Amino acid sequence: MIQLVRVGIRPSKVVITRLQLDKDHKKILKRKAKSCPVGKEKGKYKGEIIEKIQE
């Protein structure tokens, strides 16, 4: 007979070692990567506008 024992795992101690991605998850990640290009400014205002306001 198999007994199940619940072991408490602290979420802060968990480390993801490997992701198991199927084709649908890969498509979602590719789509999200296209919509957020690397190096794009996330801020609402550009640096030039902020400098003008501070003057």
Question: Hey, is 42 helix, strand or coil?
Answer: coil
pLDDT of residue 42: 62
Query: Residue 6: pLDDT above 70?
Result: yes
- Report field, pTM of the whole predicted structure over 0.85: no
| Alpha-carbon distances, residue 33 vs 14, 18, 30, 36, 38 (angstroms) | 25, 19, 5, 5, 8
Q: What pLDDT, on the 0 to 100 scale, is given for residue 44? A: 64
Predicted pLDDT at 55: 60
The reported pLDDT for the residue numbered 39 is: 58
Q: pLDDT per residue over 9-53, tens digit each?
A: 998 999 988 888 899 988 988 888 887 766 556 666 666 666 666
Which of 16, 21, 43, 46 has the alpha carbon at shortest distance from 32?
Answer: 21
Q: Is 44 helix (H, G, I), strand (E, B) or coil?
A: coil
Q: Which amino acid is at 45?
A: Y
